Amino acid sequence: MSFEAAKAYFSQFDMENRIRLFDSSSATVALAAQVLGCAPCRIAKSLSFMAEGRPLLVVAAGDAKIDNSKYKSRFGAKAKMLSPDEALSLIGHGVGGVCPFAVKDGVEVYLDISLKRFETVFPACGSSNSAIELTIPEMEQYSNALGWVDVCKAWQEETP
């Protein structure tokens, strides 16, 4: 699974034409913000973890950082990010392109409340040079998120 899987996923909703492909890398928050011409906080980064034997994604704003105590309280385990090999094998996307679309069966997806301050955000689409602009209701719908969580810190309530 990769960019092609994410593109096929969005094609079932006639949205594949909204995916943006770039000539340069968008693999990090800073690179994605630069290539998109937006504030880094509007990049919806997908963080991959293993919690009690199950892979999960937390999609958070680009300026948010995992708060270990909040994470442990919510998921019952220490926040342990997947290695690049684990992300690819368990989630279905490589690091730099991890997204909540077209993930492997059994992957739990959660949206962090740090995203709620924006009208639109930019998650990756399975590769290190792709993104799609989605409204927050679209993020909820197309990510198939199990719900909203509050597991991050270091982000501001103000919208830039």
Where along the chain do its domains lie?
A: 3-153
What separation in angstroms does the CA of 142 have from each of 9, 43, 65, 84, 88? Answer: 9, 16, 23, 24, 20
Alpha helices by DSSP H, listed for the chain, are 3-11, 29-36, 68-75, 84-86, 136-143
Residue 2: per-residue pLDDT: 87
Instruction: Encode pLDDT of 12-60 as tens digits.
Output: 999 999 999 999 999 999 999 999 999 999 999 999 999 888 999 999 9
Please state, for a pLDDT cut of 90, what percent of the chain lies above it: 92
pLDDT (tens digit per residue) in 127-140? 999 999 999 999 99
| Structure tokens belonging to residue 124 | 């990756």
pLDDT score recorded for residue 158 = 53
State the fold for domain 3-153. Answer: YbaK protein (3.90.960)
